[in-house]
Amino acid sequence: MFIDIPRELEAALIDRHLPAWKLDGSALAKSTIEDYRAELAAVPQFTETAAAVHRALAEQGGGYVVLRLGNLARALESEDDRFLRLATGFAAEVALPFSPFPRWPLWKDIGVKVDKDRGKSSGIGYNAFHMDLVNATLPPDYTTLLCVRPDPLGGGPSILSDAHAAVARLSDDHRALLAESAYHYGSFFDLHGVGREYKPFPVLDGDQGEGFVRFTAKMLERSELGQEHADAGRALTEELVRGQVSFMLEAGDYLIVNQRRFLHGREALQSGQENIPVTDRRLLLQLFLRTVPDAGPTA
């Protein structure tokens, strides 16, 4: 699920100047998508690399991919905007980039805050398996994370697990409980493009093997659940952990996760984060993607 960028493509992209993007509401404007596609389609091996990304996301057993963009990131280190436009161009080949958070730019910073809840994405502890915007009626189809800086102390590997494979290993009784609208988690305010609040919601939402597995392990501790529904959620947690894959994102790595197939999380960062300057701590940029009509090849 790791895709290295061919050297010929890297060299051509370093010389490519994509225009600044425009937004249509909270989503990347159609005109920008058309401009990026026209520019990138002319770059040798870009079309083949984009096709490899599609295959990795769609093939049996797939559902996530890591594009190794580190050489591009280093070459364009002094021109962050140019690199981010190229990453956005790759994202737009998968689905429509958008931001559900009006107060944030298209790409949202996920840094490290030592005084934050340890289990949050910007905390320093274990970030348990979850899908993003779990309590929205229209959650993003893809969540993506671009690594700007890994943990300088060597911690925080990403974890992913095939949610439908984990569900398939559960008992019929547990699956029946997870299909009931008995779960809830988190707040819901100041969001765009993700529908309405879904509360309560079923964990198994849609056809088996196809729909979202609306799960976040945090809801088992932070929501009021009946014993049976909580036990079913814990059983799913165990299967997710049993089937997990783990890897370290390096600077320039771009992780794309199909939320209809995989849940994601992160192991704890190494201790000693308080001794690292904020500007040197782990930093990711997050971008969400929506598969909609006319959004691109996967629509």
Distance separating alpha carbons of residues 44 and 48, to the nearest angstrom: 9
Name the nearest CA neighbour of 6 among 61, 47, 60, 41: 47
**Tens-level pLDDT at each residue, the chain (299 residues):** 899 999 999 999 999 999 999 999 999 999 999 999 999 999 999 999 999 999 999 887 789 999 999 999 999 998 879 999 999 999 999 999 999 998 899 999 999 999 988 999 999 999 999 999 999 999 999 999 999 999 999 999 999 999 999 999 999 999 999 999 999 998 898 899 999 999 999 999 977 667 899 999 999 987 789 999 999 999 999 999 999 999 999 999 999 999 999 999 999 999 999 999 999 999 999 999 999 653 333 32
Topology adopted by domain 2-290: Double-stranded beta-helix (3.60.130)
- What is the C-alpha R_g of the chain? 19
**How many beta carbons lie within 10 A of that of residue 197, not counting itself?**
15
Tokens representing 218 are 């945090």
Peptide linkage before 200 cis (omega within 30 of 0): yes
The set of residues, in sequence order, having a beta carbon less than 8 Å from that of 239 and lying 6+ positions away, is 166, 167, 169, 170
Q: Where are the domains of the chain?
A: 2-290
Predicted structure pTM score: 0.94
Distances (CA, A) of 278 to 43, 48, 110, 249: 37, 38, 12, 19
